[in-house]
Amino acid sequence: MAKAEENIDGAQKAAIFLMVIGEAAAAQVMKHLGPREVQKIGVAMSGLEVVSPSNVSTSINEFMSSVRSHTGIGIGNEDYIRNVLTNALGEDKAGSMIDRILLGGNTKGLESLKWMDARAVVELIRFEHPQIIAIVLSYLDSDQAAEVLSLLPENTRADLLMRIATMDGIQPAAMKELNDMLEQQLRGGAGGQQSSMGGIKCAAEILNFIDRSVEAAISEKITEHDAELAERIQDLMFTFENIVDIDDRGVQALLREVSTENLVLALKGTDDGIQEKIFSNMSSRAAEMLRDDLDAKGPVKVSEVEAAQKEILSIARRLADEGTISLGGGGGGEEMI
């Protein structure tokens, strides 16, 4: 529920705006969104029971400000598309999308997987060659890929993640093979430019979204096979414990995007260092209220705690992609002087 005294996040602002403009206009806008965006905004819409006038005003004003800052000049221009996507999604996420748009690869078959339930994706790919499965996982969003990977046979997970980590782009011929499997037509040839999919960072981001017990088992098997690769993957992982390595200004920016309910759940069972990092970046009154909420919170399922932590980590990665905060710890960031 969005209340006057609470900060609202980007998905809630988008949900408010779409509900204000009416069903027909909102439907036209939603047609241009990706599956994960539709899902996120849909969840936000379902939670909007009471919306204050100030939140409606904020959402509309931010949209109008954004519109005024853009012009129609240059639409269709390669540099314009690159700049817009990079500013909107961050360099890493924009990279693969730019490839798909500007390099002319027909990935409709792959794109359709993003709309499917993880179990349906597993049913479609589970008997395919491991390299094909690795390509599919590389293409999916990290959280969806993690869910698919966790549903695949346990003895294949480490091998798939190593294939993703050591993947150095995908040649059009491989993309054609995959899209043929999905009964889609692909344009491209052996001489085309490869698509930037896979890599160690992709493997690390998928591992970030997997349940800890599963992640530990996969990491152990990768270490047994290739200790150096396992270490490089671990170096790029960002876990909830790494929040202590974010600077104070970054933590404050992160807290503005996180609901109190999620924060209480995420902090259950964490060590004093993480809790103090959070408390020290809140007002004394807010910190005291959060401590009281933590003390009053009864036993909760581990899965609920992990889900809350993953939601906060997703927000942290988004803010990092936007350049709002800098992630420390797992990313092995450079020392500042």
pLDDT tens-digit profile of 272-325?
889 999 999 999 999 999 999 988 888 888 888 888 888 888 888 788 877 888
How far apart (Å, rounded) are the C-alpha atoms in residues 11 and 85?
18
283 with 218, same domain: the answer is no
Positive or negative CA dihedral for 114, 117, 118, 124?
A: negative
Answer yes or no: is 259 within a domain: yes
Answer yes or no: is 43 within a domain: yes
257 with 297, same domain: the answer is yes
In the listed set 236, 269, 298, which residue is the last one of a domain according to the structure?
236
Answer yes or no: is 91 within a domain: no
Answer yes or no: is 183 within a domain: yes
Domain range spanning residue 41?
10-68
Amino acid (1-letter code) at residue 237: M
Q: From the CA atom positions of the chain, what is the Rg in Å?
A: 21
**CATH code of the domain in which 218 resides:** 1.10.220.30
Task: Please tell me the total count of domains within the chain.
Answer: 3
Answer yes or no: is 5 within a domain: no
217 with 303, same domain: the answer is no
Between the alpha carbon of residue 239 and those of residues 6, 54, 208, 309, the distances in Å are: 26, 35, 7, 9
Query: What's this model's pTM, rounded to 2 decimal places?
Result: 0.46
Answer yes or no: is 265 within a domain: yes
Answer yes or no: is 337 within a domain: no
214 with 257, same domain: the answer is no
In the listed set 211, 236, 261, which residue is the last one of a domain according to the structure?
236
189 with 151, same domain: the answer is yes
141 with 193, same domain: the answer is yes
Residue labelled with tokens 């011929």: 173
pLDDT at position 189 = 34
Query: Is the pLDDT confidence value at 159 over 60?
Result: yes
Query: Is the pLDDT confidence value at 36 over 60?
Result: yes
